[in-house]
Amino acid sequence: MLKNILALVLVSVVATAHANEGVAFVHGTGSQTDAYNDYWTGSNIQSIISGLPNSSNYTVINCDFNQYMWDSRASGCLAEQLTNFINAKGITKMTLITHSNGGNVVRWILSNPTWDSRYPNIINKTKEVIALAPSSGGTPLADAVIAGNVFEAALGWLLGYKTDAVRMQQVSWMAYYNQNWLFGTAGRPSLPKGFVNVVGTDVDSAIWDSDSYCGGYSQQVGLEFTQNWLDSCSDGFLNCSSQEAAGSLWFRDKSKTRGREPLSHQQSRRKCFNLDVFLRDRI
């Protein structure tokens, strides 16, 4: 019996030692062609991937996430790029780091394995999804945009105007998708892989506070403006309840961040307040 147990432990250790782990960065709403620089920034990505055994095992997704999550230009593009990454690097386990609506596109894949022949292998290779400020429950801002309300120009990068992705993220629409198409929310089947949330709870934009400039000061001002449409607990784009609607909570910003700083929706995709260090340590 002892010999059998030792053999199993040895097999487990060998398998772990030979695991070829990688990380994929999945952007949010918008059509990206250089998400490495424009969405995440290189310094942020390089800091995070330094936690990998092989720091070259990463990919940065560039897809058209202005589309509905099931659209071939959204989830189909994501599936293609993830499959290419897995095959090119021989990835056996990968962590997906998503931001905002990117979490919905990934949840579509995890929830609908028969939709596309590439999905099962992606699900099998996925170790965990780390969802940064995921819009799992939608946002009242999407409702406001579709209704024709005008937001400051500084929020163009955030809202994408009246795209299908923004339409999809209306609160009632996401409630429908969560109840009929997506897993991981209350009363629904669990997702096949872990989906952990990092939640932003507030926006700081005091001009005299240097922390307000991380990620871009004009975006902070814009996000503080849009908090008028949101709950007191929000990151300027999403209510905390939306960010926590699917999967499980990893942490709310102030419980871990340097100086107990909040993470605005812009800052949760940037190298702000040691977020990159927490991600590096987790992967």
CA distance 24 to 83: 11
Tokens of 242: 């939306």
User: CB-side exposure of 63: number of CA atoms within 13 Å?
Assistant: 33
Q: What is the pLDDT of residue 157?
A: 60
What's the half-sphere exposure (Cβ side, CA atoms, 13 Å) at 17? 6
Q: Where are the beta strands (DSSP E) in the chain?
A: 21-26, 58-60, 93-99, 126-132, 194-199, 248-252
Do residues 199 and 190 lie in contact, with contact meaning Cβ atoms separated by under 8 Å?
Answer: no
* Neighbouring-strand partners of residue 199: 252
Q: Where are the domains of the chain?
A: 22-31+43-282
pTM of structure = 0.92
Q: Is the dihedral of CA 86, 87, 88, 89 positive or negative?
A: positive
Dmax (CA) for the chain in angstroms is 70
Q: Which two tokens stand for residue 30?
A: 């918008």
**Which residues, listed in sequence order, are joined to residue 94 by a DSSP beta bridge?**
22, 126
3-state class (DSSP) for residue 96: strand
Assign domain 22-31+43-282 one CATH number from 3.40.50.300, 3.40.50.920, 3.40.50.2020, 3.40.50.1820.
3.40.50.1820
First to last CA, the chain: 34
CA 168, 170, 173, 178 torsion-angle sign: positive
The per-residue pLDDT for 13 is 43
Per-residue pLDDT tens, the chain, 283 aa: give them: 455 444 444 444 444 456 999 999 999 999 999 999 999 999 999 999 999 999 999 999 999 999 999 999 999 999 999 999 999 999 999 999 999 999 999 999 999 999 999 999 999 999 999 999 999 999 999 998 888 776 655 566 666 778 999 999 999 999 999 999 999 999 999 999 999 999 999 999 989 888 899 999 988 998 998 998 899 999 999 999 999 999 999 999 999 999 999 999 999 999 999 999 999 999 9
- The phi and psi torsions of 65 (rounded to 5 degrees) equal -95, 25
Q: What pLDDT was estimated at residue 94?
A: 98
Tokens of 208: 């005299």
* 11 residue type, one letter: V
Given 3-state DSSP classes, what are the helix, strand and coil percentages for the chain, each rounded to the nearest 5? 45, 15, 40
State the DSSP code for 53.
S
User: Cβ(134)–Cβ(100) under 8 Å?
Assistant: yes
Q: Is 87 helix (H, G, I), strand (E, B) or coil?
A: helix
The answer to whether residues 110 and 246 touch, using CB atoms and an 8 Å cutoff, is no
